[in-house]
Structure 1
Amino acid sequence: MKNVQIIDGALNATFSVFQATEEEFAAIFPNGQDIEVIEDFVDRLGDQRAGAILSQLWERPILKRDAQGIHGTLFYDWSERRDHLPSTKREVDCDERSINEAQRRLFRAAR
C-alpha cells in the first residue's frame, strides 16, 4: 500500500492521508509522478474510472502518525495554481529557488 495525502480547500486544513493499492497509485500517479491535480486525473481516466478508484481510496484512511511516509500528493481546487507545480509532477523536480540547500541536495540525489 502507498500513502496519498489529499491537499484541498477544506476549512479544517487536516490534509488527510489515505492508502492506495499499487494499481490505484499507478493510475493516480503515472510515469513516476508523486504529484497530481484531481482535474488532470479525472480528465485522463474519465469520471467513471476515476470515481471507482477514489471510492476505494476513501475507504482506507490512515492516521498521519501511523503512515510510513507520504508517497503521493493529490491536489483538489488547485487548477489555477498548477503553474507552481513542477511540469513533471515530481517533487524532486520543483523549482530550486523555492527550497533550501539541504532539499536541493536531497532532490538532486533522488533524480
Structure 2
Amino acid sequence: MKNIQVIDGADNCTFSIFQATNAEFALLFPAEGQDLQFAEDLDAQALNALGPVWDRPIPKRDVQGIHGTLFYGFAGKRSHFPASKQEADWPADALNPAQRRRHVRGPR
C-alpha cells in the first residue's frame, strides 16, 4: 500500500491521508517517479480508482511515509510546481535553507 496525502481548499483543512494499492497509485501517479498530481489531470480510469482509496483513510500517527500528494483546486498555481510532478524537482528558491541542503544531497 502507498500513502497519498490530499491537499485541498476545504475549510476543515484536514489534509487527510489515504492508502492506495500499488495499482491504484500507478493510475493516479502514472509517470515514472511522479509523486505530485493535480486532480484536474486525472483521467476517467484514475478517477474510478479513487473510489476505493476514499474508503481507506489512515490516521497520520499511523503513517510511515507519504508516497504522493494529490492537489484539488490548485490548477491556477500549476506554474509554482515542478513540471515533472516530482517533489525532488522543486526549484531551490522554493525551499528553505535546510530543505535546500537536503535537496542537494538527498536521493531522488
Q: What is the identity, as a one-letter code, of the residue corresponding to 1:28?
A: L
Structure 2 partner of 1:110: 107
User: Does residue 92 of the first structure (1) align with residue 93 of the second (2)?
Assistant: no
RMSD: 1.1
Structure 2 CA distance for aligned equivalents of residues 91 and 50 of structure 1: 20
Q: TM-score, normalised by structure 2?
A: 0.91
Q: TM-score, normalised by structure 1?
A: 0.89
Q: What is the identity, as a one-letter code, of the residue corresponding to 2:56?
A: R
Which structure has the highest helix share of the two?
1
Q: What is the identity, as a one-letter code, of the residue corresponding to 1:23?
A: A
Structure 2 partner of 1:80: 76
Structure 1 residue ranges (4+ consecutive) displaced by more than 3 angstroms after TM superposition: none
Q: What is the identity, as a one-letter code, of the residue corresponding to 2:97?
A: E
Structure 1 partner of 2:20: 20
Structure 2 CA distance for aligned equivalents of residues 33 and 105 of structure 1: 22
Task: After TM superposition, give the deviation of residue 101 of structure 1 in Å.
Answer: 2.8
Aligned residues: 106
Structure 1 partner of 2:38: 37
Q: Which structure 2 residue ranges, 5 or more long, are not aligned?
A: none
**What secondary structure does 2:42 align onto?**
helix
For residues 56-99 of structure 1, what are the alpha-carbon distances to aligned partners after superposition, in whole Å with 9 as ceiling and x for unaligned?
11010000111101110000001111111101011110010011
Identical residues among aligned pairs (%): 53
